[in-house]
Chain A
Amino acid sequence: MSHTTPAIRAEGLRKSYGATRALDGLDLTVRAGTVFGLLGPNGAGKTTAVRVLATLLRPDSGRASVAGYDVLAQADRVRTRIGLTGQYASVDELLTGRENLLMFGRLYGLDAAGADERARSLLERFDLVGAADRRADGYSGGMRRRLDLAVSLIQEPGVLFLDEPTTGLDPRSRLQVWESVRALTASGTTVLLTTQYLEEADQLADAVAVIDHGRVIAEGTPDALKSQVGGDRLDVVVRDPADLAATARLLGDAVSAPASVHREEQRVSVPAEDRMEALTRAVRALDGSGLRVEDVGVRRPSLDEVFLGLTGSTATDHENDRERTQEVSR
């Protein structure tokens, strides 16, 4: 395999469940040794894509290769080269951390001594030595995820699939998982990571593809994507919904940019190219305006705004659309 051969290549993958198109002509190319982020809202087709690439699901049409092997014709070989960590940690809860690693090590084809050695080094690497002989059902969410990650690394896979590795984790555990993923790339593993969080893709990925309705709608480096979307945002939450319009006018004038109003959250949002300057101006304008403010904050653009930038509709709008359609069909 030459260095130009991509670690993952998917061409025109399609998969339908009844009338729902989970994958609708998905194309992907992931360079070897990089972290690739697959970004999209719930139901965009991220998990379906991972399941096809990890040989768990047959696509209706299209083709894909992982580590140089065809996922359909050479599934057995693909399985000797990949690791998979799903959305829910699928470690054996009744076994201890060490027993999990030993069992999966044997199933991966290591002999007893090899599995033992591998378990020892992975426990150390994932900071689980102290908990090694405790049952996994007593682990915290972050520890369980780390054990799951350790299991998926037993055979030192060339390609690792991480399907929403930090969903449901507290911030500290999330940081630990990120740390582990960064360490992986240093060892040359290719990582395909799915996430709903722009920040996560930004932190970890060399390249990102945004997918929606089962196809890629944008691709590039996280920076390129962000510049396409716009920079940070400044949010103001008001106490009285009646103040929303006045607040929007005030803030729009203060930063000289259009303000968007999110009625349900009683929130007004404006672009904040320079974080400090925008914050200072906004607070100055609000002070003495008589508007009662609950909260002010500056944040990175959310996935919603990426979507707004890319498709003109937000990720939550998609969900609302769906709800509305259901209501109509009722």
Chain B
Amino acid sequence: MTATAVPERNRPRSGGGLPPLQLTRGQRLRKTGTDTLVLTRRNFRHMVRDPFEPIIAITMPLVVVLLFGYVFGDVMAPPGTENYREFLVPAMLTMVMLYGIGGTASGIARDTARDVMSRFRSMPMSPVALLSARALADMARACLEVALLLLVGFAMGWRFEDGAGNALAAVGVLLLFRLALVWLGVLMGLVLPTADSVSMVVYPLTFPLSMLSTSFIPSTAMPDWLAPVTEWNPISMVVTATRDLFGNPSLPSDAWPAENALLMAVVVPVALMLLVTPLAVRRFRRISR
């Protein structure tokens, strides 16, 4: 029996426009597109209905900044920074981008748990839509977070001082950083066994990482052996580049990464993405084959 011999009468007759059995390349691409949108919408619903993780991810940096800005500020402000709160806002934005990785990883871990994944894979859908929908929803969330935190920044007295063009570029740097972390988060979600294990790994890892950067204190205030770690920390690069583009006070530093912060804030995330995206896709193919 050849495949084409299957009569169409065996297809469901109900209305609703079920797709033909065999899709052309273009139809398949369109299906991936609609599947992505359908799942993105679901991901938004998840964020709204189970808001614990997104709320923690945005309030932690907010609390840190409010504490540093209004409580410890006078002690912590590095000499030469006139407005420590303006100095903090780019750090807060970067920190929120970083913490988003927890949501990405746990979302992917939930979607690829065996029973859920079995249902998706037994259907004529495009499995890769699970990844693209996750990326799309999380980037949309990142845009919302940036907008929200800039408003908080305004309320704290923060301003961008170097023109709207550069301010937009600063937002671009932050979102590029987040995009790289989305793919790192996808990989983590595929590797870690459960969504619960994600939060056990992500926060203990990201919190020290954001502290061991020039987000809050200059590297000169660190022990000698730690200073280079701080300077080469990608978070420092993103924070410094964002400060420069916003025209906010930055730290005087003659370290190479600080002097080339913008370059590094583009190169490092792109390199990270080139590294982790193929790994994530390969891992995903293995479990979705």
Contacts and interface: CB of A to CB of B under 8 A. Distances in A.
Contacts of A81: 10
Contacts of B7: 1
A77 interface: yes
Given A68-B1, A76-B124, A109 B19 contact: yes
A103 B119 contact: no
Given A109-B124, A158-B10, A56 B118 contact: yes
A109 B18 contact: yes
A324 to B, nearest CB: 30
A110 B16 contact: yes
A79 interface: yes
Contacts of B15: 114, 117
A113 interface: yes
Interface residues of A, number: 47
A106 interface: yes
Q: Most chain-A CB neighbours within 10 Å: which of B3, B16, B41, B50?
A: B16
Contacts of A107: 35, 38-39, 120, 123, 125
A156 B124 contact: no
Contacts of B19: 80, 109
B205 interface: no
Q: Most chain-B CB neighbours within 10 Å: which of A55, A76, A109, A135?
A: A109
B121 A108 contact: no
Contacts, number: 107
Interface string B12-47: 101111110110000000010011001101100110
A84 B119 contact: yes
A304 interface: no
Given A1-B1, A51-B118, A86-B118, A106 B124 contact: no
Given A77-B21, A114-B15, A114-B17, A94 B34 contact: no
Contact of A56 (B16, B18, B42, B122): B122
Given A113-B16, A161-B122, 20 more contacts: A56-B122, A79-B124, A84-B122, A86-B115, A86-B119, A90-B116, A99-B45, A103-B38, A103-B39, A106-B35, A107-B35, A107-B38, A109-B19, A109-B124, A115-B16, A117-B14, A117-B15, A155-B12, A155-B18, A158-B10
Interface of A: 1, 5, 51, 54-56, 58, 67-69, 74, 76-77, 79-84, 86-88, 90, 92, 94-95, 99, 103-111, 113-115, 117-118, 135, 151, 155-156, 158, 161
